[in-house]
Amino acid sequence: MSLTLKAARQALSKQIGDFWEGTTTSAGNADKLDLIDSTLTGHQSTWVTSGAGGEQPSTVLITDTELNKEERYVDSDNLTTASGTIGVTRAFTVLIPTIKTYEIHKEFTAADKERAIKWTCYDAFPSLYKLIDDSSLRFGDWLRDGGFETWTSSAVLTRWANDTTQANTLAQTSTEFVRTGTYSCKFTGGGSGSFICQGWNQGSATHDTNNIDMQHLAGKTVTFRVWGFSATANALTISLEDGTTSTYGNHTSHSSSTKVYHPGDSTWRLMEVTKTNTANPLAIEARIYNDTTSAVYVDDASLTGIGDKMTYDISDLGLYNHQPNQIYAVSNRAANDTTPRPKDSIVLLDNWSTATSSGLLTFKTRITDGKALRIVGRGYLTQPADAGVNTEASWTSTEVTAPQDEIIVAGAAMYLYRLLISTSQLGDVDRYKMLADYWEKEYRIRKARYGMASLAGTILRG
Beta bridge partners, 274, equal: 223
Percentage of the chain surpassing pLDDT 90? 64
Does one domain contain both 261 and 409? no
The 10s digit of each residue's pLDDT in 58-90 is 999 998 877 768 899 999 766 788 889 999 999
Q: Is 83 within 8 Å of 36 (Cβ atoms)?
A: yes
Does one domain contain both 1 and 26? no
Gap between the Cα atoms of 99 and 54, Å rounded = 33
Gap between the Cα atoms of 181 and 178, Å rounded = 7
Does one domain contain both 241 and 195? yes
The 10s digit of each residue's pLDDT in 368-425 is 777 889 999 999 998 765 444 444 555 566 688 889 999 999 999 999 999 988 877 6
Does one domain contain both 225 and 272? yes
- Final residue belonging to a domain, choices 331, 358, 377: 377
Phi, psi (deg, nearest 5) at residue 93: -65, -35
Does one domain contain both 213 and 307? yes
Report the phi/psi class of residue 99: left, alpha or beta, with left for phi > 0 and alpha for psi in -120 to 50: left
Does one domain contain both 233 and 319? yes
Residue 124's CB is within 10 A of a number of other CB atoms, namely 24
Does one domain contain both 398 and 432? yes
Number of domains in the chain: 3
Q: Domain range for residue 365?
A: 132-377
Task: Provide mean pLDDT across the span 444-455.
Answer: 95
Q: Which residue has the higher pLDDT, 402 or 449?
A: 449
Sheet holding 295-305, edge to edge: 169-173, 184-188, 295-305, 221-230, 267-276
Does one domain contain both 213 and 343? yes
Q: Which residue has the higher pLDDT, 382 or 190?
A: 190
Does one domain contain both 112 and 102? no
pLDDT at 136: 87
Q: Does the pTM of the predicted model rise above 0.85?
A: no
Q: Is 15 within 8 Å of 406 (Cβ atoms)?
A: no
Does one domain contain both 185 and 139? yes
Does one domain contain both 212 and 316? yes
- Final residue belonging to a domain, choices 321, 343, 377: 377
Does one domain contain both 114 and 145? no
Q: Which residue has the higher pLDDT, 344 or 247?
A: 247
The 10s digit of each residue's pLDDT in 291-308 is 999 999 999 999 998 677
Gap between the Cα atoms of 409 and 117, Å rounded = 7
What CATH number does residue 346 fall under? 2.60.120.260
Sheet holding 101-105, edge to edge: 20-23, 101-105, 59-62, 71-80, 85-88, 34-36
Residue 9's CB is within 10 A of a number of other CB atoms, namely 26
